[in-house]
Amino acid sequence: MANPFLSSEEYDERAHQLYNEGQYDEALDVLREGLALYPNAVELHIGVGYAYHAREEYAWARRSFEEALVLDPEHEDALAGLGETLLKFGQQASALRSFRRTLELGYEDDIELMLQIGRALFREGLIDESREYFETAANQTPDSAEAVSCIGYAQHRLGDDESAIATLRKALKIDEDHTEARIYLGNIFYDRGDYEAALYHLDRSTPDDHWDELGIWRLIELKKMVYRLRDSDPELKPWEERLAELAGEPDDIDEMLAEIEARAAEAAESEARGQLELFGALLSTFAQDKVTQPDEHCITIDEDNSIEGTWEEILQKMSEARGGNSLKEFMQTEARRGFSLTGHLIPTEDAESFIRGSADAGLLRIVR
């Protein structure tokens, strides 16, 4: 039952607290109760819009933001929320107009709003457009490590790693505890093969600083490689626990999908084995027609199938057998699969390290 003693601002405040705690259903209940008393309260309509957006109910979110803009056509939060929702419908031009309106109305000094818009564009792959809003925020507050680091993320996604590294270092000079920037910087160094710098930055984070698995995988790999840690070393335990936490416990749907996947994999395995046998026969035929070069190697996947070539050629053939993803994606996917099967971390920095790591994990055998 609606409480007539609460103001619309108090309803909004209660809902906002629930929203920040991730209790979107409860936040919606509070907002609807408030709207029953205050149907023209713009903030409550906007709150409903963001709650629906968080629940990925974008049609309802759009309706709520549009209702708010009928009441106040120049409300910056409604304009930003509508823009985010329009992006989900693929209406980029309309979304950009809605975002642009916030600048025209003079809200460039609202740093949180600029970062919100920039991140929304960044998530949808509109990197050039996102960078404008990040730079607007940074120009308003040059000492904001968050705003500066967001520019670095955009630079990296645009392929300008040198500028990204310089920008992220600048952000860390502003705030050395800005772990999001430090983890991102560590991953850039890892991708560039500068493992010492990658380890330096990733090792200054804690397990709870990570919200995806990639940085943790890489840090564990680097710790094992550089510090010669064993799989059972206590130093790795907190990181492995965080990996398990991020992976989460499988629910009934996950288990059902895993069972379906297992059955499909079993059916595909027989077909794949036949293809590999044919592939192995072709390789044997090729081997009869040429002399093995000194830099060529040979691996066996099972007793009947082998692949020859340079490390890079072997990796390419393995990737093609799995569907032809990019070599980097193939190595990362197989490294994760190998870890789940064997508990061994497989390096992914180059073809040779990946193949030797796979052999150490028992997933294949190197003949030469």
Does any domain span residue 170? no
Does any domain span residue 244? no
pLDDT of residue 229: 86
Longest Cα pair distance anywhere in the chain, in angstroms? 90
Amino acid type, 304? D
Tell me what percent of the residues of the chain surpass a pLDDT of 70: 82
For residues 327 and 286, the model is more confident at 327
Question: What is the average pLDDT score of the chain?
Answer: 86
152: pLDDT strictly greater than 60: yes
295: pLDDT strictly greater than 50: yes
pLDDT of residue 209: 93
- Cα torsion through 338, 223, 319, 212, rounded to 10: 80
pLDDT of residue 291: 46
Does any domain span residue 216? no
pLDDT range class, residue 73, cuts 50, 70, 90: very high
333: pLDDT strictly greater than 90: no
Does any domain span residue 225? no
User: What is the number of domains present in the chain?
Assistant: 2
pLDDT of residue 290: 45
Does any domain span residue 241? no
Among 105, 123, 151, the domain-final residue is 105
This prediction has a pTM of 0.68
Does any domain span residue 231? no
pLDDT range class, residue 3, cuts 50, 70, 90: low
Question: Domain limits at 46?
Answer: 1-105
The 10s digit of each residue's pLDDT in 202-239 is 999 999 999 888 899 999 989 988 888 888 889 999 99
Tell me what percent of the residues of the chain surpass a pLDDT of 90: 58
Among 73, 105, 137, the domain-final residue is 105
Residue 242 DSSP symbol: H
pLDDT of residue 320: 79
Among 85, 105, 125, the domain-final residue is 105
The 10s digit of each residue's pLDDT in 233-292 is 899 999 999 988 887 655 555 555 556 555 655 655 555 555 555 555 555 555 554 444
Does any domain span residue 46? yes
Closest CA to 58 of 92, 88, 25: 88
Does any domain span residue 232? no
Walk across the sheet containing 305-309 and list its strands.
Answer: 305-309, 297-302, 365-366
Two structure tokens written together for 41: 């309260």
Two structure tokens written together for 25: 């259903």
pLDDT of residue 343: 63
Residue 34, domain CATH: 1.25.40.10
